[in-house]
Structure 1
Amino acid sequence: MKSKKLERRFLKCITVIFLGSLPFVLKKTPIKDSLLVLFMNGYTNAIVDRFLVNRQILQYPIRFIPKEFKSNVLFDFLCLPTVSLWLYHLTKNDNPFKIVYKIVLTISSLFLVELWAEKYTKLIKWQKGWKWYYSLISLNVRALFSRLVIAIINIIEKKQEG
């Protein structure tokens, strides 16, 4: 019982931290890019998470809005999209090598929190042979994909402007 309260408190703290940081991150990037990163990332996270949860590969025993969602809506729609937006701001003037380096370094740090949560809490449970490196690779691929799509959109936009 005590563990469940601590885990709920942890989720609330994460919510406050990410909601508090969102205005600062949004301020630093063009609104079009910000909204694109947030919505695209949230959408792809929801698709991937729903696939994994429905196949009982991942489970989120303690989560927000448990009756409506089987996935972790906090992570899918707030945490990872905010980190992706922050990464976009951090890498928007970098060459491809630096972009990959910064994304892998940042996402690997975020992954360590997931690894801790899987081992010591009931926030996430990996099942059916899911390994730690699947999560690490999946998170990095999603962040790189998001960054690539925004870069392509910006290139197309510049060509259209003249």
Structure 2
Amino acid sequence: MKRKNERSFLTITTLIAIVLLPFAIYKRPFKDWLIVFLVGCTGNTLADRYLVSKGYLHYKVRPFSKKFAIHLPFDCFHYPLFLLYFNQWTLNSKPLGMISKLLVFIIPQVIIETIAEKKTDIITWKKGWNWYHSFAGLAIKFLLCRFMIAAIRMLNKRENSIT
């Protein structure tokens, strides 16, 4: 019964993410948000694949478990959705504001992941992995993507300016 509840939880949260995704992407500038989404999917999938292959993380309860060792809903829907909302919210933020908004996104994710690791089979930490590794990893990935989209915007401004 426990595993059925975990699968139901994953299914419901994934469906919510899929429903919210078009609303997050379909905003101006569409191209920027599509880039953020694709970078989020790709980067998180690669990082997750590496961590799973090295034995730091294990997902006992996951969709398509015979095909993928990673947690596909988190890598392709949940994380990119959080990343989209973070990038949209920090669009015009200064560095200090960006850091405080980053904490608003990361702290709840790390708390939920920690509870999931302790109380469920959704995720298992191994080889000394702990909540602070997840916190640092999320912070680095969020900020890298944010700086990347800022660089793309600066390049676009330069190309579009008339000199």
Q: Which bin holds the TM-score, normalised by the shorter protein?
A: over 0.9
Distance in 1 separating the partners of 2:153 and 2:129: 36
Distance in 1 separating the partners of 2:25 and 2:15: 16
Partner residue of 2:131? 132
Q: Which moved more, 1:26-35 or 1:16-25?
A: 26-35
Distance in 2 separating the partners of 1:107 and 1:31: 24
Residue 96 of structure 1 and its aligned partner are, at CA, apart by 1.7
Partner residue of 2:75? 76
Distance in 1 separating the partners of 2:28 and 2:122: 32
Partner residue of 2:121? 122
> Does the 8 A contact of 2:39 with 2:145 survive in 1?
yes
TM-score normalised according to structure 2 size: 0.95
Distance in 1 separating the partners of 2:88 and 2:27: 7
Equivalences, count: 161
Partner residue of 1:32? 31
SS at match of 1:67: coil
Amino acid at match of 1:61: K
Distance in 2 separating the partners of 1:64 and 1:158: 42
Residue 158 of structure 1 and its aligned partner are, at CA, apart by 0.3
Distance in 2 separating the partners of 1:30 and 1:143: 19
Q: Which moved more, 1:30-39 or 1:98-107?
A: 98-107
Distance in 2 separating the partners of 1:80 and 1:29: 21
> Does the 8 A contact of 2:27 with 2:33 survive in 1?
no
SS at match of 2:63: coil
Distance in 2 separating the partners of 1:43 and 1:110: 19
Give CA-to-partner distance per residue, 1:5-39, whole Å, 9 cap, x none: 00000001111111111122123342111110011
Cα-Cα RMSD: 1.0
What stretches of structure 2 of length at least 5 have no aligned partner?
none
- How is 1:96-115 mapped onto 2 (pairs within 5 angstroms)? 96-115=95-114
Amino acid at match of 2:131: W
Residue 105 of structure 1 and its aligned partner are, at CA, apart by 2.1
Distance in 1 separating the partners of 2:71 and 2:29: 28
Moved over 4 A (4+): none
